[in-house]
């Protein structure tokens, strides 16, 4: 049996889509929502997959430190990175890809969650990033633990 729970973390961040060619190439920001879907095979003595407070501590802790009130940029975006370095103080997080909702969800699922959940006995199976109330992207793992899909709801991502 597998049991799944979800913890939602809200944060604000700026970004731009490098070489987008449209308005998403301007510096702008979103009130993001990140949904972390966590699964485990058994419950503890209290009857929980894992304490929601522990998930909040782990996920919100990482988001607050790295992404909340930061600018998230593509590592190829030298112009944007150099511009932000002029700002004091500067909070910037550089991704290996454009900071779309799709790539942010994938990054959290593949790079961040395994580190945060190490030793907890639970696994993050799916991360959804809501960029607006109407648009989200999600990255999920199949039963073998491979990246399965990136799905989009609503209109094409307006980033």
Residues that bind Zn ion (CB under 5 A): 159
Contact 134, 154 (CB under 8 A): yes
Output the residue with the shortest Cβ distance to Zn ion: 159
- Give the active site residue among 12, 69, 90, 152: 69
Residue 69 designated active-site: yes
Shortest Å distance, C-beta 99 to Zn ion = 8
We find the least distance from the C-beta atom of residue 14 to Zn ion, in angstroms, to be 9
Q: What is the dihedral of CA 126, 127, 133, 134, to 10 degrees?
A: -60
Catalytic residue list contains 24: yes
Of 103 and 159, nearer to Zn ion (C-beta) is 159
Residue pair 105/135 in contact by the 8 Å Cβ criterion = no
Asked if residue 71 lies in contact with residue 14, where contact means CB atoms within 8 angstroms, the answer is: yes
How many angstroms separate the first and last alpha carbons of the chain?
A: 38
What the block records as the tokens of 112 is 């961040």
Nearer of residues 74 and 159 to Zn ion, judged by Cβ: 159
Cite the annotated binding site by residue number: 15, 28, 30
Identify which of residues 17 and 55 has a Cβ nearer to Zn ion in the complex: 17
42 is catalytic: no
Active centre residues (catalytic) = 24, 69, 131
């Amino acid at each position: 049996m597998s049991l799944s729970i979800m913890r939602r973390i809200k944060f604000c961040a700026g970004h731009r889509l490098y070489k987008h060619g449209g308005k998403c190439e301007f510096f702008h920001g979103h009130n993001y929502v990140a949904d972390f879907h966590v699964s485990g095979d058994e419950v503890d003595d209290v009857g929980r997959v894992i304490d929601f407070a522990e998930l909040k501590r782990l996920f919100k802790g990482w988001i607050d430190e790295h992404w909340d009130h930061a600018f998230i940029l593509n590592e190829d975006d030298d112009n944007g990175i150099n511009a932000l370095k002029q700002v004091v103080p500067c909070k910037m997080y550089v991704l290996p890809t454009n900071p779309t909702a799709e790539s942010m969800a994938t990054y959290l699922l593949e790079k961040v969650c395994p580190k945060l959940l190490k030793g907890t006995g639970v696994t993050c199976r799916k991360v959804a990033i809501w960029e607006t109330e109407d648009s989200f992207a999600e990255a999920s793992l199949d039963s073998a633990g491979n990246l399965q899909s990136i799905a989009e709801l609503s209109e094409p991502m307006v980033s």
